[in-house]
């Protein structure tokens, strides 16, 4: 705790435009006071956050490798206590604006707080690369560019700026070395009157080439690639979309593309960025909200506020695998019986819209788990300063692959009084690829040819 306090105070004297890697003296804390990926090794003074002991690497009884489903190792645990509309003010310092708004609006909503488990575990080669990155990685172009020396691990295990934290989030080890797929990823929308709509059902592919150094022809500047094939609704069946992101987006902007069966050709889609609504998610989520944040960081000033303790969605096995499609959705919010909340330390980043830039949001706040840089909370405010949207993004540890997997999330639109549950793969599960797909096979034209003939 003393280290956390000293570090948070030190942040106030650090320029938001700092680009230098940390010194060897600072990096020497990795594996000692800090984990190899930069989180605080120790628990908190109250004992409510445990020390890090290597993460979850052992599968519980009943797990079937390759099934696409991961057994909940904490299914028999009982919550420590409950936060609801009667007592949320007592816990307000550990809740986001979105959590507080849900509790204020919905007397039937609650957060069951469970014991905290620091389950995040990464492969040894990723940890080794993270230690190397600590003294070699830099951001360039006022934080917009990740230097090419950064490869294969967390780029900034000891972040000093908001841009560095957001780069950690963008290139986090979420999909293994060669990617993940889903055969049925669903996005559900629940209107203000409680009506449920399946906005889309898609097959998806996600990879982070940032962790690949053995794939012939792969552009070493590409750090992320995503494509999806729409199965439902019927009027959009057969549509494909995809995008690739690069370490220097000022020189290589996002390359996005789309294919519609009626036109029968692949088209570039530069609009798949920033505050363009994502059609497959019913317009409830924006392109730069994918996975909490996605894309170039040029429209906002990202300020690293520090670190604090928050109740965030964590070890969400129940929501990912055990809460059936009908049970998980209630009239005004996700069924709280399906959610699990734990106390964890998070990095806090505030993003403020630049005066000369346009966006539907004026301000955003990100709360990112120190162990994964992925799980956490996110709030966004409109141009009048009113809370607009909030996201709750939890994950599960793929204990047989050393992957903290974080994709399924809820997002609330407080202006419209509606919400969505996104990246739901209760039907079909998730698959981790154990071999790379060739660059030729991942060319958009090849993807379309392959997927449209299945």
Q: What pLDDT does 129 receive?
A: 98
Q: Are 94 and 311 in contact (CB under 8 A)?
A: yes
Looking at the domain that runs over 81-118+163-451, which CATH code has it been given?
2.50.20.10
Q: Which residues pair with 286 in a beta bridge?
A: 277
Q: CA-to-CA distance for 267 and 138, rounded, in angstroms?
A: 34
Q: CA-to-CA distance for 347 and 307, rounded, in angstroms?
A: 5
Q: What pLDDT does 4 receive?
A: 41
Q: What pLDDT does 17 receive?
A: 46
- The answer for residues whose C-beta is within 8 angstroms of residue 279's C-beta and 6 or more apart is 236
Give the residue extent of every domain in the chain. Answer: 81-118+163-451
Per-residue pLDDT of the chain (454 residues; tens, 9 = 90+): 333 433 343 343 333 344 568 999 999 999 999 999 999 999 999 999 999 999 999 999 999 999 999 999 999 999 999 999 999 999 999 999 999 999 999 999 999 999 999 999 999 999 999 999 999 999 999 999 999 999 999 999 999 999 999 999 999 999 999 999 999 999 999 999 999 999 999 999 999 999 999 899 999 999 999 999 999 999 999 999 999 999 999 999 999 999 999 899 999 999 999 999 999 998 999 999 999 999 999 999 999 999 999 999 999 999 999 999 889 999 999 999 999 999 999 999 999 999 999 999 999 999 999 999 999 999 999 999 999 999 999 999 999 999 999 999 999 999 999 999 999 999 999 999 999 999 999 999 999 999 988 7
Q: CA-to-CA distance for 131 and 126, rounded, in angstroms?
A: 9
């Amino acid at each position: 705790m003393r280290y956390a306090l000293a570090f948070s105070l030190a942040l106030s004297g650090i320029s938001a435009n700092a680009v230098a890697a940390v010194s060897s003296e600072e990096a020497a804390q990795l594996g000692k006071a800090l984990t190899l990926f930069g989180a605080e090794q120790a628990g908190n003074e109250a004992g409510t956050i445990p020390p890090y002991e290597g993460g979850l690497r052992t599968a519980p009884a009943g797990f079937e490798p390759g099934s696409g489903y991961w057994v909940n190792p904490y299914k028999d645990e009982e919550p420590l206590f409950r936060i609801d509309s009667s007592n949320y003010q007592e816990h307000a310092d550990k809740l986001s604006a979105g959590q507080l708004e849900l509790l204020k609006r919905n007397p039937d909503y609650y957060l069951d707080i469970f014991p905290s488990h620091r389950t995040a575990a990464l492969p040894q080669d990723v940890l080794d690369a993270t230690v190397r990155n600590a003294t070699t990685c830099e951001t360039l172009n006022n934080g917009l560019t990740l230097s090419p020396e950064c490869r294969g691990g967390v780029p900034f295990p000891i972040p000093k700026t908001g841009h560095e934290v957001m780069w950690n989030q963008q290139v986090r080890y979420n999909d293994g070395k060669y990617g993940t797929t889903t055969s049925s990823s669903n996005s559900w929308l629940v209107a203000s009157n409680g009506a449920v709509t399946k906005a889309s059902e898609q097959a998806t592919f996600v990879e982070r080439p940032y962790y690949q150094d053995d794939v012939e022809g792969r552009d070493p500047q590409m750090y992320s690639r995503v494509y999806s094939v729409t199965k439902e609704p019927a009027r959009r069946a057969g549509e494909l979309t995809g995008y690739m992101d690069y370490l220097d987006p000022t020189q290589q902007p996002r390359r996005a593309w789309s294919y519609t069966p009626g036109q029968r050709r692949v088209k570039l889609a530069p609009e798949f960025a920033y505050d363009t609504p994502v059609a497959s998610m019913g317009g409830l989520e924006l392109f730069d909200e994918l996975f909490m944040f996605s894309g170039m960081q040029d429209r906002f000033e990202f300020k690293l506020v520090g670190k604090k303790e928050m109740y965030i969605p964590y070890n969400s096995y129940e929501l990912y695998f055990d809460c059936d499609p009908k049970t998980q959705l209630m009239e005004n919010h996700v069924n709280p019986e399906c959610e699990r909340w734990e106390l964890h330390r998070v990095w806090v980043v505030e993003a403020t819209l630049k005066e000369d830039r346009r966006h539907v949001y004026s301000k955003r706040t990100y709360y990112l788990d120190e162990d994964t840089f992925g799980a956490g909370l996110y709030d966004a405010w409109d141009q009048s300063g009113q809370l607009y949207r909030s996201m709750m993004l939890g994950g599960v540890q793929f204990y047989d692959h050393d992957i903290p997997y974080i994709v399924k999330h809820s997002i609330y639109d407080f202006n419209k009084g509606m919400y969505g549950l996104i990246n739901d793969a209760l039907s079909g599960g998730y698959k981790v690829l154990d071999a790379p797909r060739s660059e030729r096979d991942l060319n958009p034209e090849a993807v379309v040819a392959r997927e449209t003939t299945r």
